[in-house]
Chain A
Amino acid sequence: MLLLSVAVIFVCLILLSMPIVFSLGLAGVAGLWLGGYPMQQLPSALVSGSQSWVLLAIPAFVFAGGLMERCGMSHALVELARALVGWVKGGLGMSVIVVAYFFSDICGSKMAEVSALGSSLMPPLTKAGYKREESASMIAAGTAMGMLVPPAIFMIVIAQVTNTSAVTLFLAGFVPAFVMMICLMVLIYLRARKYDWPVDAKPSLKRVGKAGMEAAVPLVVPVVILGGFFFGIITATEAGAVVAAYAFLAAKIYYRNVSWPQMGQIAYESAILTAAVVFLLAVASIFQYLMGMQGVPKLLGEVLAPLKGHPWLFLFVTAFISMLFGMILEGLPAAVVLIPVVFPIAEEMGIDPIHFNIVQTAAVGIGLFLPPMGVGLLMALKFANVSVSQHFPTYVPYICALVVGLSLIICIPEISLTLPRLAGLIK
């Protein structure tokens, strides 16, 4: 009863265009008050929710990503991807997906990624004769896939709320993202053959080498992350610090195109983004307290009991809900509201925590790019200057490819678990 009133307040406030974080906070306050719980839980949950060593990786990665984007590292990656696959049938389209994979590695924020990819890829795609709807679909689907490529803020947050290791989750993301990338590339190849898309001229070895040299600076980052985590040398937070320092040195010594005031502006923007993310987590911890006191996980466990014998069905159902949450509420609110509730059930059913988190990450990533209101998709469409309804028919196959990728990740846990197992992080 108490939680029902809390949920009603939450939904009403959201519909009144109250920022989600404050809708959550006010509903939480109402819950504390109605349930007769001590109001001191409010500041104490806020402080303990925002004070965390792992979360310190967020400002570091966000700042590093902002800085690397400003330096123009995305252009170097675009050049390399075009040189590598641009000459294959549908190659320019495939290169969008490849760039999204690598770019997610240096960029912590989805919105920043869509705008960087949109601004640097839209002109060459249009010039090569790709329809705007098609280009927007590739950028949207590629970035949705990139959700799984570390270092994603979402992964740090989901690791925090489920109390799993961020490093393991990061390491687990590489292969599932690769599987999704293959699904998208197969689709693009088939479409390229069907619609006879143009190809780039085959590049000379010299051009590939030059593009490789230029992209070497940004590509150090995934190497540091993958290597550092695989060999267990650094923690997620330390990796953030190292990548931030690297970005700083690259900007000041190698590229030399970011002034001090610009640096300050990037730091300020990163601070505000970090604050919004961590504050959301902090506010949501009031909810977690309430749900714990009211025995929600047990209740949900009983409701979902029929699914118990079928872990994969449970994963499909929760992934579907995560996708809807991701579309409506944006990714992070989905993570802090939904995941803490369903995670204990998944654990009880014997689903590997890392596998579960990877599935939810992928689902939320797709949700962000689902029509009609996924924010990531809206952003991509803004760059392409097409409306949701104009774009929809072209986009359907891409959504299908993403869902096929997600289904593979759900049905084959080894896709997510092999790399962390090899690194000895899980059994």
Chain B
Amino acid sequence: MSVIERIPRFVVTALIALAIINLLIGVFLRYVVGGFTNYMDWDPVSFTWVEEVGEMALAWLTFIGAAIGIRSRSHFTLYVFTPRFSPSVQRAIEVFNHLLIAGFGLLAAWHAITLCQLNWSLKTPGLEVSLALLYASAVVGGVLIAIYAFSMIVSPAHRDPNALH
């Protein structure tokens, strides 16, 4: 596996870990710290940022993971008619499909750039970071989708003949 392939792999693993640990911090803040401050009659500790971190991590995880999924063929696909065609026709269909997927990714990325610009000055209430950080996930994701789709055109990943779908 090349270094370039390892980066998104590492990033999604880190993001899922971040998402789950963040949830646990949320539970801790709400039940333990919240209960304690409530008991002591202190000012409650804010945890609105927990929700923002979680949702942001999920959005990034989704787009990067969806792009990786193109190559690892983890998106559900029906193979009903195509396996009956000759290998060269099958290959042509696959190239056609991945060109469309790449186009979809680039289109999403292109229009997401506009969304980033529109939301540049808006800040999230908890973390007070720019909302563009959220929409940037669609830009990066769209570009990655195109890259992975092109990689399938150049050197297709092998499909497990025993795979169910």
Against A, the Cβ 8 Å flags (1 = close, 0 = not) of B19-30 are 110011011001
Cβ-based interface call for A232 (8 A): no
User: Are B77's CB and A275's CB within 8 A?
Assistant: no
Which B residues are CB-close (under 8 A) to A373? 80
Tell me if B59 counts as interface (CB < 8 A to partner A): yes
Given A39-B111, A51-B58, A55-B58, A15–B20 Cβ distance below 8 Å?
Answer: no
Q: Count of B residues near A, CB < 8 Å? A: 62
Whether A271 and B77, one on each chain, are in contact in the complex, defined by CB atoms closer than 8 angstroms, is no
Contact, CB under 8 Å: A274 / B27: no
* Residue B147 at the chain A interface, CB threshold 8 Å: no
A20 contact from B13, B24, B76, Cβ within 8 A: B76
Option from A29, A53, A275 in Cβ contact (under 8 Å) with B62: A275
B49 at the interface (CB under 8 A from A): no
A20 vs B76: C-alpha distance when bound (angstroms):
6
Contacts of B100 in A (CB 8 A): 13, 18, 22, 26
Nearest Cβ distance between residue B56 and chain A, in whole angstroms?
7
The interface-forming segment of A291-299, A349-357, A375-383, A416-424 is: A375-383
Contacts of A39 in B (CB 8 A): 107, 111
B74 touches A273 (CB 8 A): yes
Q: Judge whether B68 is part of the interface by a CB distance below 8 angstroms.
A: yes
Contact of B19 among A59, A273, A276, A379 (CB under 8 A): A59
Residue of A29, A40, A276 touching B75 (CB-CB under 8 A): A276
Task: List which A202-260 residues lie within 8 A (CB) of chain B.
Answer: 234, 237-238, 240-242, 244-245
Please determine whether B75 and A43 come into contact, CB atoms closer than 8 angstroms: no
**Pair A51/B23 contact, Cβ less than 8 Å:** no
* Residues in B neighbouring A426, C-beta threshold 8 A: none
What distance in Å separates the Cβ of B8 from its nearest Cβ neighbour in chain A? 10
Among the 9-residue stretches A94-102, A192-200, A262-270, the one with 4 or more Cβ atoms under 8 Å from chain B is A262-270
Q: How far is the CA of A116 from the CA of B66 in the complex (A)?
A: 25
- With a CB–CB cut-off of 8 A, which chain B residues contact A47? 59, 112, 115, 134-135, 137-138
A279 near B65: Cβ-Cβ < 8 Å: yes
**Partner among B56, B77, B112, B138 whose Cβ is within 8 Å of the Cβ of A18:** B77
Contact (A270, B16) CB under 8 Å given A53-B51, A278-B58: yes
Contact for A17 among B54, B97, B108, CB less than 8 A: B97
For the complex formed, measure the closest distance between the CB of A103 and the CB atoms of chain B, giving whole angstroms: 20
Residue of A22, A47, A379 most packed against chain B (CB within 10 A): A47
Enumerate chain A residues within 8 angstroms of B55, measured Cβ to Cβ. 51-53, 56
**Central interface residue in B77, B79, B139, by most chain A CB within 10 Å:** B77
Asked if residues A26 and B104 are in contact (CB atoms below 8 Å), the reply is: yes
Most central of A13, A242, A264, A276 by chain B CB within 10 Å: A276
User: Could you tell me if B74 and A50 are in contact, using CB atoms closer than 8 angstroms?
Assistant: no
Say yes or no for A182: interface residue by CB 8 A criterion: no
- Within 8 Å CB of A14, what residues of B? 78
Residue-wise interface mask of B (125-163) relative to A, using a CB-CB cutoff of 8 A (1 in contact, 0 not): 000000000110111011000000000000000000010
Chain B CB within 8 A of A25 CB: yes
Instruction: Flag if A16 contacts B93 (CB, 8 Å).
Output: yes
Which residue of chain B is the closest to A64 with respect to CB atoms? B20
Instruction: Chain B residues near A275: list those with CB within 8 A.
Output: 12, 61-66, 68-69
- B23-A60 in contact (CB<8A): yes
Q: Is the beta-carbon distance between A274 and B61 smaller than 8 angstroms?
A: yes
Q: Does A125 contact B (CB under 8 A)?
A: no
Using Cβ atoms and an 8 Å threshold, which residues of chain A touch B135? 43, 47
Q: Are A382 and B16 closer than 8 Å at their CB atoms?
A: no
* B114 at the A interface (CB under 8 A): yes
Q: In the complex where A271-B12, A276-B69 touch, is A56 in contact with B111 (Cβ < 8 A)?
A: no
**Interface flag for B4 (CB, 8 Å):** no
Write out the residue numbers on chain B whose beta carbons fall within 8 Å of the beta carbon of A382.
Answer: 162, 164
Contacts of B37 in A (CB 8 A): none
- Give the residues in chain A near B13, CB-CB below 8 Å: 264, 267-268, 271
> Chain B contacts of A60 at CB under 8 A?
19-20, 23
**A56 with B54: CB separation less than 8 A:** yes
Smallest Cβ-Cβ distance to A286: which chain B residue: B108
Question: Given known contacts A39-B111, A47-B138, A279-B66, is B16 in contact with A59 (CB within 8 Å)?
Answer: yes
Cβ contacts under 8 Å, B65 to chain A: 271-272, 274-276, 279
The reply to whether B78 and A59 contact each other, CB–CB distance below 8 Å, is no
Within 8 A of B (CB), among A144-194: none
Q: Given A55-B58, A379-B164, are A21 and B16 neighbors across the interface (CB < 8 Å)?
A: no
Task: Choose from B15, B81, B93 the contact partner of A271 (Cβ within 8 Å).
Answer: B15
Check: B82 CB closer than 8 A to any chain A CB. Answer: yes
For B62, what are the chain A residues with a Cβ–Cβ distance below 8 Å?
Answer: 50, 274-275, 278-279, 282
Interface residues of A (CB under 8 A from B): 13-22, 25-26, 29, 39-40, 42-44, 46-47, 50-53, 55-56, 59-60, 63, 234, 237-238, 240-242, 244-245, 264, 267-268, 270-276, 278-279, 282, 328-330, 332-333, 373, 375, 378-379, 382
Residues of B bordering A, CB below 8 Å: 9, 12-13, 15-17, 19-20, 23-24, 26-27, 30, 51, 54-56, 58-59, 61-66, 68-70, 72, 74-82, 93-94, 96-97, 100-101, 104, 107-109, 111-112, 114-115, 134-135, 137-139, 141-142, 162, 164-165
- What are 5 A-B residue pairs whose CB atoms fall within 8 Å in the complex? A43-B138, A50-B63, A63-B20, A272-B69, A279-B62
6 nearest A-B pairs in the assembled complex, by CB-CB distance: A275-B65, A241-B23, A19-B75, A43-B112, A279-B66, A271-B16
